[in-house]
Amino acid sequence: MSFVRPVPQGAFTATLLGGRTTWNVSPRMSLSALIQYSSYDSELLTNRRFRWEHQPGSDFFVVYNDGRATGLDEPLFLQSRSLAVKLTRLVRF
């Protein structure tokens, strides 16, 4: 996808590419991945997520993100990285 958007500094064109995949290991467990590339920033972003529903309505997530520069001087230079863990529990009254 390419777009042109006027901004105060002038118009620019950016190309965005992306893809997503999901693998359902079981009805209660899945792995998913997202990858995106932006020509404007020359950046490659990835997101990986593990989800496990340990009880109906209660989930455990592990999410890993990273961003990499794709410039010519240092190909795939790591710019950012994060790891998040989340546990939810359904409480019924």
Domain limits, the chain: 16-87
Q: Confirm if 69 and 76 have CB atoms less than 8 A apart.
A: yes
Q: Confirm if 80 and 69 have CB atoms less than 8 A apart.
A: no
Q: Which carries the bigger pLDDT value, residue 71 or residue 6?
A: 71
Q: What pLDDT digit, counting tens, does each position of 6-58 carry?
A: 667 777 777 889 999 999 999 999 999 999 998 877 889 999 999 999 999 99
List the 12-26 sheet strands across, edge first. Answer: 2-5, 12-26, 29-38, 43-55, 58-69, 77-87
Whether residue 2 is predicted with pLDDT greater than 70 in this model: the reply is no
